[in-house]
A and B are shown apart, each in its own frame.
Chain A
Amino acid sequence: MRELCRLAIVLTIICCGAALSLAYVYNLTKGPIAYQQRLKKIRAVNAVFPQHEGTQGVQMVDSLYCDDESGTASCRQFYFIKQDREVLGTAFEVATSGYGGTIEIMVGVSGEAAISGIKIINHSETPGLGANITKEQFYQQFTVKNLTDTKWDLRKDGGDIDQVSGATISSIAVMQAVHEGLVFFSDHEDGIMEKAVRVEQPVES
């Protein structure tokens, strides 16, 4: 019995020590981690609007848009590029399942609901194959694609999107996610733009 107590006490002491040090490190790194994640998204927004980066008087604002009508209360973060009071572009994040896990993509839309650019934020596709979706060559073809004039299918299925060779699943996943994002945006454009005009506070970067 005494032996048993000793074992339990020693284990408890070790676990308490571990918990204390973890709590300390967690508190220390909480801020920097949140900051890094935000920075990554802001960089992605800048990457999908290369034409506006660094231009004088252009600001980035962000706002949460909640789709109340459907009742799902799903909210999405939208980023707006504004000059004076005019909204030059809107960026939003879409997520999808690829071949190796979730793929997160930032999609930028400028006037007439045409894509300004896309950027993969996170993915875990196979290096050398699926991971090639992060290459500029694959990104570029999405520029100026839109809902009305583009056939959202792979070239081999009679569509307008070139796939990454050897990575059909990853390519389709990105294509569909971008397409769905565009559909959502065009369905809710009025509501989203209303938010864009109201928000004034620029994003810190």
Chain B
Amino acid sequence: MGFGAEFYKGIFKENPSFRLVLGICPTLAVTTSVENAIGMGLAATFVLLGSNIFIALLRNFIPDKVRIPSFIVIISTFVTITDLVMAAYAPDLHNALGIFIPLIVVNCIIMGRAEAFASKSSTGASIADAFGMGTGFTLALILIGSSRELIGNGTLLGFPILFSSFKPAVIMILPPGAFLTMGLLLGLFNYISRKRSS
């Protein structure tokens, strides 16, 4: 597969949130606003890119038996770097994401791509895969985040969008709203992909 195909598969066909249903914990937890969704998406993409590149480069050097601990060390190094850089240069975003940055370590998407893709593929293909998966994850988070922020708070990116008489349904930015949104969007994606294949 070429660079484009590796990239595009992460956006719809193998979208990590809606098709592979990976990394659901951060997906449900941070998507209370679009801003958080974008921040989490970009942070995860950066970590994914870094870990995919290094794991693909070192794939012949790392013995099979110790591959999981090696992957975890590489991934957590990138997560800590992201955490420190964000705290230093984007403190507001760092504040908003809080605990979810360290939790990228256990995000199944990153471990999953390391194990299923980067450890078996060339560096170039791994970069394309990381960008595709990261973009797919970010878009999925933005989709969930914007639905929840719009209905639950009446705003998008903090700007009021709906007419002032609109009474926000607070449940949408609380945990139940995350499950409702996720469930409906999963159904929609399943419907679209079934229509496409038939």
Known A-B contacts A7-B66, A14-B62, A32-B88; A22 and B77 likewise in contact (beta carbons under 8 Å): yes
Are B77 and A33 in contact, with the CB atoms below 8 A?
no
Q: Does B89 contact A (CB under 8 A)?
A: yes
CB contact list, A1-48 vs B, under 8 A: 6-7, 10-11, 14-15, 18, 21-22, 25-26, 29, 32-33, 36, 40
B161 CB → nearest A CB, Å:
16
Interface size on B, residues (CB 8 A): 30
CB contact list, B152-196 vs A, under 8 A: 152-153, 168, 170, 173-174
Are A33 and B98 in contact, with the CB atoms below 8 A?
no
Q: Does A54 contact B (CB under 8 A)?
A: no
Known A-B contacts A11-B66, A33-B84; A21 and B77 likewise in contact (beta carbons under 8 Å): yes
Q: Does B20 contact A (CB under 8 A)?
A: no
Main SS at interface, chain B: helix
Are A33 and B88 in contact, with the CB atoms below 8 A?
yes
CA A29 – CA B88 in complex, angstroms? 6
Are B69 and A129 in contact, with the CB atoms below 8 A?
no
Q: Which of A83-91, A120-128, A135-143 contacts B (4 or more CB under 8 A)?
A: A120-128
Known A-B contacts A10-B66, A21-B77; A127 and B173 likewise in contact (beta carbons under 8 Å): yes
Are A26 and B74 in contact, with the CB atoms below 8 A?
no
Of listed B58, B65, B77, B89, residue having the most chain A CB within 10 A: B77
B108 CB → nearest A CB, Å:
21
* Residues on B with beta carbons closer than 8 Å to the beta carbon of A22: 77, 80-81
* Residues on A with beta carbons closer than 8 Å to the beta carbon of B152: 128
Are A36 and B98 in contact, with the CB atoms below 8 A?
no
CA A6 – CA B62 in complex, angstroms? 10
Are B87 and A14 in contact, with the CB atoms below 8 A?
no
B110 CB → nearest A CB, Å:
15
The chain A residue with its CB closest to the CB of B175 is A126
Are B62 and A10 in contact, with the CB atoms below 8 A?
yes
**Mask: chain B, 74-100; 1 = CB below 8 Å from A; 0 = not:** 101100110011011101000100100
* Residues on B with beta carbons closer than 8 Å to the beta carbon of A40: 91
Knowing that A22-B81, A36-B87, A126-B174 touch, tell me 4 more A-B residue pairs with CB under 8 angstroms.
Answer: A10-B62, A14-B74, A22-B80, A33-B87
14 A-B residue pairings within 8 Å (CB atoms) = A10-B61, A14-B58, A14-B70, A14-B73, A18-B76, A21-B77, A25-B80, A25-B85, A29-B84, A127-B32, A127-B174, A128-B152, A128-B170, A129-B174
